[in-house]
Amino acid sequence: MIDTSTPMTRRRVLISAPRQIDLVEEAIPELAPDEALVSLRVAGVCGSDLHGLHGSHPTMKPPYYPGHEVVGVIEKLGAQVTGFAIGQLVTPEPTLPCGRCKMCRTDRSNICENLEFFGCGFREGGMADVFSVRASRLHVIPEGFDLRQAALIEPLSTPVHAVRLAGDLQGKAVVIIGCGTIGLLVLAAARANGARRIVMTDVLESKRAGALARGADAVVDAATPELAASVRSELGETADVVFDCVSIQPTINSAIEMVQRGGAVVIVGVPSKPVEVPAFILQDRQVRLQGSATYMSEDYAEAIRILASGAIDASTMITASFPLEETQEAFAAAESGDQIKVLVTGAGVVL
Ligand SMILES: [Zn+2]
Ligand SMILES: [Zn+2]
């Protein structure tokens, strides 16, 4: 007799070609002994998903299965998995390091030489009714977190890592270029790490207002002709650290101008095009240009701590949600510029 209570197939989102989002129906994957089967509760649409959809992301090229900002419930565990239980609410750390290379052996698994990335070109992604994932990458969502807070753990971990790489921010003057989702989360992470004064820039008035409402000390229109000078006057000094969450030629130029001397520019946004840097200025003024790639497990722990402290109002960060079958609409909303974080929800989830 066939057990009809257990579905044999799942729906999952496939970016099949540039600008083409399909919902395909296929068999539920067999679990490897070290994997968990997780059912989707919510999945965030990330800026990199939008780049991927347009074929402009450096590494995520269609066809691929999206969804790396995912929260779900453990449905099934592979034979060798220990330390987890069916029914737990979890979020995967989507980076899948090899565990063997020099980076993995020296505590830098986020830049593993053989890195695979769940939801970013890997055979599995989180925008699906159920998905399989290496259980060792799962983090249990603490009691008391709602789905909106849980959905921010992965997006916040990237800024937490960038802030950690910037060095001690205690008492420092900080600039954040870009008041989108990542910029706002850098704001929260920099504040949690003691930054004294934080000035943010964006070309959109509505985004600047959002940054002020969330605790930026001042905002400056990124289209201002003497941008670096305006930012400097709002800071009262040159910047110690500039976080570039946009990473295009004009923002890199102004970031280097803002730190002036002896400061650091942290590249947080994914550059979609090559950018030239003034090497002479970096050398002569002893400016540090620091790339920041994803996160490590300790950054997840710190992101959870910041969210648990109540420093971020998740209900104002998650501004729209769509069921899985309306993923196309979710991507369109995320692209409109009117939203902060857009979520795709699993079957039966009402936010
Ligand atoms: Zn992302
Ligand atoms: Zn590795």
Task: Give one DSSP letter per residue of 276-339, joined into a string.
Answer: ---HHHHHHTT-EEEE--S--HHHHHHHHHHHHTT-S-HHHHEEEEEEGGGHHHHHHHHHTSS-
pLDDT at 1: 47
283-336 per-position pLDDT tens digit? 999 999 999 999 999 999 999 999 999 999 999 999 999 999 999 999 999 999
Q: Which ligand is nearest to the Cα of residue 43, counting in written order?
A: 1
- pTM score, whole prediction: 0.95
Model pLDDT, residue 6: 65
Q: Which ligand is nearest the CA of 104, by number?
A: 2
Q: Copy the structure tokens of residue 5.
A: 């209570």
pLDDT of residue 3: 52
Q: CB–CB of 201/220 below 8 Å?
A: yes
Q: Which helix (H) or strand (E) holds 16?
A: strand 9-17
Predicted local confidence at residue 281, as pLDDT: 95
- 3 C-alpha vs ligand 1 centroid, how far in Å? 38
Q: Separation of 215 CA from ligand 2 center, angstroms?
A: 38
Instruction: Report the 10 Å Cβ neighbour count for 252.
Output: 23
What is the CA(134)–ligand 2 centre distance, in A?
A: 15
CA of 72 to the centre of ligand 2 (A): 26
Strand partners, 176: 200, 243
pLDDT value at position 7?
A: 74
- C-alpha of residue 296 to centroid of ligand 1, in Å: 14
- The predicted structure's pLDDT at residue 272: 81
Q: Which ligand has the minimum distance to the alpha carbon of residue 47?
A: 1
Q: Which residues of the chain have pLDDT under 70?
A: 1-6
User: Which stretch of DSSP H or E encloses residue 39?
Assistant: strand 35-45
CA of 68 to the centre of ligand 1 (A): 6
What's the gap in Å between 49 CA and the centre of ligand 1? 7
C-beta of residue 95 within 8 angstroms of C-beta of residue 117: yes
Structural tokens at position 178: 């870009």
Q: Which ligand is nearest to the CA of 103?
A: 2
Give residue 48 CA to ligand 1 midpoint distance, Å. Answer: 6
Q: Residue 300: CB partners within 8 Å, gap ≥ 6?
A: 93, 139, 153, 154, 157
Q: How many Cα neighbours within 13 Å face the side chain of 350?
A: 0
The identity of residue 31, as a single letter, is L
